[in-house]
Structure 1
Amino acid sequence: MVDSETAGKDVLCETYTSELSDQETSIEQFTERKKKFIVAISSAACFLTPMAGLAFLPAVSTIAERFHTTGSIINVSNAIYNVFMALSCFWAPFSDSYGRKPTFLLCMTFCVISTVLVACSQNLAMFFVFRASTAFFGTAFFSIGAQIIGDIYPPERRGGAMGWNIAGSQIGPPLGPTFGAIIVTYTTWRWIFFILAILGGIVLVLAFLFLPETLPESKHQIALRNYNQSEEVLNNPEKRKKFIFVPFNITRPITSLRYPTLLLAGIASSALMYNMYCLLTPIRYVIDPRFNITLPLYGGLFYLAPGTGYLLGSFVGGRLSDYQVRKSIAKRGRRVPEDRLRITLIFYGLLSPASVIIYGWSLYYKKGGYPLPIICMFINGFCQTSAFPSINSYCIDSMASKIGGGAVGGNYMIRFFASAVASATCLIAIEDIGIGWTSTISGLVLIVGFICMLVLVFHGEKMRLGGEE
């Protein structure tokens, strides 16, 4: 009698073979050059929304004065922004139903319109509402981009492509305040959003002209074909349609978290995002008084340290993730999705919490001058994004065939809720307990995420097989 674990592994082998077979048609229709261009468009789209999320920080006092309120109230809009970034995960099942390109174009169009309306805001309510709609439409590209990469790349090459896609989303937050500081130093804060709208318009045109549909066949295409080939329509051609409504499950990103492996992956990515926003949101509040900086431009330059780490970490993490997959296949003779997470453990469990804790206490005790906090911010940024390509690819590798876009959509949902919590609470925590203890709490949150990664690496396969039985 074959035991359940052996049977489960046999199923995984068969699934791996069938995955490759199903993907070949979609993968082979695109040249390598075309694939890179597709990823570049997706990465550019992912760059805009996170950049907009923090680009206004250097202008908070100016915006508060314009709308007759306080900087604290304006900062609340950033927490709301992150909540709507989390809610945008519902576009993932929409793209499964109607295709990647239509969803991409729809979201980018409304993202650009919303950004223009933020720039034209005449009161605080208008500013809040259209900031929220910018996040809702603009963050859809994170999950859509991950789905596109899942469409055009096999698992053993998915991490590297995911690194490029993530690079756009991860360098946006640190570059945003630097960009915003330059704008607000020389002109009005409204031009921050006008320029972002122009960049979004460029990406929209490129996507319209050059982004192909990567989903082999959407649910809408299948339903439309079945309808037009039905006996009723064949007998009466006038009833042919070019569009029919196909319902899509907007709760799928939420229900995806009922799978223990996806929940653990969500907690792991949430810990990283909590740490990221605890680091980025208060930089000028803690750096400026520490080094007696008065110009927004000079304070904004400190965001370049984690930003450089985010950029390099995305590329290195993606390549290491693919290397780990190939190594696992060579060793086991089959692909185990959890194996790609092994390569992230030293970055996640040791270097990331250590760097943020040292950063916080170096500022608190005013030790290390400029180099120590800058180096710590770089290391922390590098370690964060070296883990994201593996986590994103893991969600697609392990469960996308079962629940579609909800696998990665749910992960983005929970991580942006964590960033909303960090945005709303980190300044309060710094005022109450200081930057040292606030950074220590952030480090402890990372350790919780690291424990989730350990559970996935060593027990994830059994948990996943148990959930599928």
Structure 2
Amino acid sequence: MAEPISDHNPKATDSEASIHLEDVSPSPPILLSEDGHPSNHSLQDPRNWPQWKKNAQILMVAFHSCVSTFMAAGIIPAYDLFAEEYGVTVPDASYLTSFQILLLGLSPLLWNPVTAVYGRYHVSMFSVLGSMVCNIGGARCTTYGAQMATRVLTAFLISPPIGNGSGVVTDLCEPEKRAQKLGWWTLMTTIGTPLGPFLMGFVTKHLGIQWIFWIFAILNFCQFLLYLAIGDETIYNPKNERKQSGFFGKLIPRKITSHSLSPRDFVAPFSLAMTPRVLIAACAHAITFCYGNIAMIVEMPIAFGQKFHFDAQQIGLQFIAIIIGCVLGEQVSGPMCDWFLKRVRQSRGYSCPADRLWLSYIAFSTIFAGLLVWGFQLQHATTWNVTPCVGAAIASFGNQMQTTILTTFAVESKKERSAEVGVFVNVCRQIYGFIGPFYLPYMFTALGFGGAAGVMVAIVGGCAMVPIIAVQFVATKSAKQ
């Protein structure tokens, strides 16, 4: 007998239920046939697609998110060459990345409302085509100003999946599988940052800086072909089904809802600043991400290039440590969170979102240890050795843990607006990360790597960990009442 699917599944984990509460809506329940698949629904409904097609859409949006951060950070090994070619300083060349960081944070505020009205599929197609054109322009640039313009436009155009990736996973996954699929998306988004300079270091040395942008353009073209071949619209509105059928029918852009865009749609996520738990978690995440990830990545050419006279390829190899730390941190954070909350429920009969914050202190501790090892070992090194990279891996491990834990806490604290929470957290992270490259080079020069690492640890401890301790105390106390 057919039975309704509900996201109020008592067997689902707290994280799954909280992150995807937006699924609980007044719409009719999906009916299950005897084979366990949805029945009596249009084939255009993404929930009725075969599993391979669902996974393909999730992997494409995860790869799209990876490409957005990959391209922003991929130019890092070429800072010295950009400075020489354009007649600017190395810190000035680093602004080519920092402005992209800013746009990757702000652009989803504009793309998300547009996507809700016109659909993810056509926005994604336009995103990769526009980015491809800008990257071709980047390969032909001869001045610093022109290159800055292409980087800003590229970041704006490639950014939609950073805001709507979680929505794709929500629409295509059953509650009991969503945590795993969200892990694909979040890890790919984070790992694009160190992966870009790692791979582009080889390109810079052996092919030249123009080929960085040609490869970016080729990646965008491959994305376009994938969307053309197996992509489809993942937002379903039964009142506005596509009348055209077939391959060419889905390519025709049109509104998927009767809702019209309004100025309020573009600023709605900022109202979450009035929710202290979301605001504190978002700011704490932004601070730790800046010093536990962006500071090491953006400053790598200065830290290793100038100190050890590394070329672009050798600089790129240093990012392996950050990649390893991110991957290991993601593998630990999710399963450990679920296991910890399960033990809490078994011991006292209930759990609350603030219980997750106990694990954030492991993340903070590893960030502190990693930054100090990275800074002091780098400062005292006279020749290259692996210890600064070990510190970078430890800090990246902790950074990936806190990314998952603090973001999940923020979402659970405002379940009914979980999609907007994701955008708000991303805005805070990218804006604070954008500011970093403007003062970090001067801080490293004035204080040395060891002193700068100590300052960053103090900022993370005082401005991120202490507020998290306070919000955990208040939230836990209110949960008991």
Normalising by structure 1, report the TM-score.
0.81
Deviation at 1:436, TM superposition (A): 1.1
1:17-416 maps to which residues of 2 (within 5 A)?
Answer: 21-22=24-25, 25=30, 29=48, 33-90=52-109, 91-153=111-173, 157-217=177-237, 246-248=260-262, 249-275=265-291, 276-290=293-307, 292-324=308-340, 336-347=352-363, 349-366=364-381, 370-399=385-414, 401-402=416-417, 405-416=419-430
Contact 1:89 1:253 in 2 (8 A): no
Aligned-partner SS, 1:250? helix
Distance across 2 between alignment mates of 1:69 and 1:247: 42
- Structure 2 letter corresponding to 1:304: I
Deviation at 1:157, TM superposition (A): 4.7
Distance across 2 between alignment mates of 1:459 and 1:153: 34
In 2 relative to 1, CA 116–35 (structure 1 residues): closer, same or farther, beyond 3 Å?
A: same
Contact 1:328 1:336 in 2 (8 A): no
Deviation at 1:245, TM superposition (A): 6.6
Contact 2:282 2:410 in 1 (8 A): no
Deviation at 1:424, TM superposition (A): 1.9
Distance across 1 between alignment mates of 2:177 and 2:377: 40
- Structure 2 letter corresponding to 1:450: M
Distance across 2 between alignment mates of 1:102 and 1:164: 22
Contact 2:352 2:479 in 1 (8 A): no
In 2 relative to 1, CA 457–157 (structure 1 residues): closer, same or farther, beyond 3 Å?
A: farther
Distance across 2 between alignment mates of 1:242 and 1:288: 50
In 2 relative to 1, CA 405–97 (structure 1 residues): closer, same or farther, beyond 3 Å?
A: farther
- Structure 1 letter corresponding to 2:428: I
Which stretches in structure 2 are left out of the alignment for 5+ residues?
1-13, 31-44, 242-253
What residue is the counterpart of 2:468 in the other structure? 453
Cα deviation per residue 1:24-54 (whole Å; 9 max; x = unaligned)? 7489535554443333212211111222222
Distance across 2 between alignment mates of 1:183 and 1:175: 13
What residue is the counterpart of 2:436 in the other structure? 422
- Structure 2 letter corresponding to 1:36: N
Deviation at 1:202, TM superposition (A): 1.6
- Structure 2 letter corresponding to 1:406: E
Distance across 1 between alignment mates of 2:183 and 2:412: 15
Report percent identity of matched pairs.
18
Contact 1:111 1:137 in 2 (8 A): yes
Contact 1:148 1:214 in 2 (8 A): yes
Distance across 2 between alignment mates of 1:138 and 1:44: 11
Q: Which moved more, 1:251-260 or 1:336-345?
A: 336-345
Contact 2:70 2:195 in 1 (8 A): yes
- Structure 2 letter corresponding to 1:446: V
In 2 relative to 1, CA 380–124 (structure 1 residues): closer, same or farther, beyond 3 Å?
A: same
Which stretches in structure 1 are left out of the alignment for 5+ residues?
1-11, 226-239
Contact 1:253 1:413 in 2 (8 A): no
Contact 1:163 1:389 in 2 (8 A): no
In 2 relative to 1, CA 409–242 (structure 1 residues): closer, same or farther, beyond 3 Å?
A: closer
- Report which of the two has the higher share of helix: 1
Cα deviation per residue 1:208-249 (whole Å; 9 max; x = unaligned)? 4334433344xxx86x69xxxxxxxxxxxxxx9988671141
Cα deviation per residue 1:433-459 (whole Å; 9 max; x = unaligned)? 111121112222322322343344443
In 2 relative to 1, CA 179–310 (structure 1 residues): closer, same or farther, beyond 3 Å?
A: same
- Structure 2 letter corresponding to 1:66: E
Deviation at 1:412, TM superposition (A): 0.4
Distance across 2 between alignment mates of 1:46 and 1:419: 17
- Structure 2 letter corresponding to 1:173: T
In 2 relative to 1, CA 19–254 (structure 1 residues): closer, same or farther, beyond 3 Å?
A: closer
In 2 relative to 1, CA 102–326 (structure 1 residues): closer, same or farther, beyond 3 Å?
A: farther
Cα deviation per residue 1:386-443 (whole Å; 9 max; x = unaligned)? 22233344444443533x6321111101100111111222111111111112111222
What residue is the counterpart of 1:441 in the other structure? 455
In 2 relative to 1, CA 204–53 (structure 1 residues): closer, same or farther, beyond 3 Å?
A: same
Distance across 2 between alignment mates of 1:464 and 1:253: 25
Cα deviation per residue 1:350-402 (whole Å; 9 max; x = unaligned)? 11112102211122223896232121111111111122233344444443533
Contact 2:371 2:457 in 1 (8 A): yes
Distance across 1 between alignment mates of 2:306 and 2:93: 21
- Structure 1 letter corresponding to 2:186: I
- Structure 1 letter corresponding to 2:439: T
Contact 1:357 1:439 in 2 (8 A): yes
Distance across 2 between alignment mates of 1:156 and 1:341: 23
RMSD value over aligned CA atoms? 3.4
In 2 relative to 1, CA 109–258 (structure 1 residues): closer, same or farther, beyond 3 Å?
A: farther
Normalising by structure 2, report the TM-score.
0.79
